[in-house]
Amino acid sequence: MTDKFDVRKYGAKGDGLSVDTKSIQAAIDDCHQAGGGYVLLHGGTFVAGTIRLKSNVYLQINPSAVLLANPDIRDYSADTHYNRYVNEQDMDKCFIYAEDATNIGIVGKGTINGNADFFPNEGTIDRPMMIRILRCKNVHLKDLKLYNTAAWTTAFLDSEDIWCENLDIRNEKKYNGDGLDFDGCQNVFVSNCSILGTDDNLCLQSSSRQYPMKNVHITNCHFTSICAAIRIGLKSIGEISNVVIQNCTFENVWREGIKIECTEGGSISDIVVQGMVMRNVSRPIFILLNNRLDVIGSSISLHTMPEIGRLERITISNVIATDDDEMKNIHYRFTDDMMGSPQFNGIRVDAHESYPIKDLVLSDIMYTSIGGVDGQSIPKEYPKVWDMRFEHPEQVSENYYPDWSRATFLDIRNVERLTLDRVRLRALNKDTRPSTFVENSKLVSHDIVEYVD
């Protein structure tokens, strides 16, 4: 079966110069018509534009093969469904695409290279995403190197039964350098992946009520990001629930390690995070419940300002977060897009006072922060989370503001039933802010110790 669908038998050159799009697609089409099997790439660099996977077809990229994105944007189809962010509609082109397919995959220990150097960096332009999967079932991505895409690496939309295993993702050359993005998906298994990028490494989102994001398992992964590592929410019209994240490492993440944002009127609940080890992560934990519309990241399908949703039953435990001298610096994405600074650092939790976060447990946390901030240098007024359906001050607390913390380690506000157990804190440099700031929160238990050298 593998020999039958060798792309070279369909005229693919694999010489890194010839365009092999038609040959690869012909092999996929024949494989699908024959009832399924493997389409094999081996022994060369295969240049292609949009490739469409079909049911019961696995694209096997052997270690000797590279699938390289064609720098000619004319080789990319115009009907591969753009992603669902208000501000990113320009990313409608796609390198590898599947729609309404079952039993599909890309495997084989080879490399897919998005050829990012040949595409613009941002703006209303054509930048092909590497992989987009829409309304598919039983999807496997395994044993691959996914490098240098011009936009997102992957987008899984309204799909179910997804396995992403043993992936090496490096997406560090362009804006929107996401790694694994899931929106409205169920039964997701991510394991043994290493992700490096210029935006969120891994996202779980829900941009509609029709397709909940639930039953997610993330384990044994490593994250490095100019932005956030794991983000749950932002796009949160519907439901995100039943998520387990365990045994992961984070290094040099200039915004948030674990970021949970319920912002579009839906619900995020039943999340367990345990066994995280972080080195140089500006905000190890960030949790926010608010509402927003027509700002960065909002869903295309959100037309009116929603009532603030629900964020509840979150447990984060067994976390070691450690800064070193690198965190004295201000960090940027490319040249002028500031991501983090010492006054920005710390664990932050916030919500509207009438819509508190409920049942939050932070336990067995050891946090060594760089510290070194003079409290006199930050603004005296700390803005509140506001119900954006009504008139509000010019400055409100939201996803990217304020860009400072009132406390060296923990800044927590508006949580109903908050547990802080076995939390150990240490600053590397003298910091004149309070160590912790817990406001309008009902503590179930409280065990915090600060160490001073």
Instruction: For residue 412, give both structure tokens.
Output: 């927590």
The pLDDT tens digits of the residues spanning 201-213 come to 999 999 999 999 9
Pairing of strands 337-340, 331-333: antiparallel
- What torsion, rounded to 10 degrees, do the Cα atoms 265, 445, 275, 428 define? 100
The pLDDT tens digits of the residues spanning 2-22 come to 457 999 999 999 999 999 999
Residue 1's pLDDT is what? 42
The pLDDT tens digits of the residues spanning 289-323 come to 999 887 666 788 888 999 999 999 999 999 999 99
Per the CB < 8 A criterion, the answer to whether 245 and 275 are in contact is no
**Dihedral sign from CA coordinates of 150, 336, 233, 408:** positive
Residue 297's pLDDT is what? 66
Residue 179's pLDDT is what? 97
Other beta carbons less than 10 A from residue 334's beta carbon: 12
Q: CA 410 to CA 138: how far, in whole Å?
A: 41
Q: Which helix (H) or strand (E) holds 25?
A: helix 21-33
| Overall residue count recorded for the chain in this entry | 453
Residue 123's pLDDT is what? 67
Residue 452's pLDDT is what? 66
Q: CA 187 to CA 216: how far, in whole Å?
A: 6
Q: CA 144 to CA 152: how far, in whole Å?
A: 16
Q: Please state whether the peptide bond connecting residue 383 to the residue before it is cis, i.e. omega within 30 degrees of 0.
A: no
pLDDT in tens, the chain (453 residues): 445 799 999 999 999 999 999 999 999 999 999 999 999 999 999 999 999 999 999 999 999 999 999 999 999 999 998 878 876 767 789 999 999 999 999 999 999 999 999 998 876 678 999 999 999 999 999 999 999 999 999 999 999 999 999 999 999 988 889 999 999 999 999 999 999 999 999 999 999 999 999 999 999 999 999 999 999 999 999 999 999 999 999 999 999 999 999 999 999 999 999 999 999 999 999 999 999 887 666 788 888 999 999 999 999 999 999 999 999 999 998 888 889 999 999 999 999 999 999 999 999 999 999 999 999 989 989 999 999 999 999 999 998 899 999 999 999 999 999 999 999 999 999 999 999 999 999 888 788 887 766
- Nearest by Cα to 60 from 115, 16, 112, 99: 112
Residue 2's pLDDT is what? 46
Say whether 297 sits in a helix, a strand or coil. coil
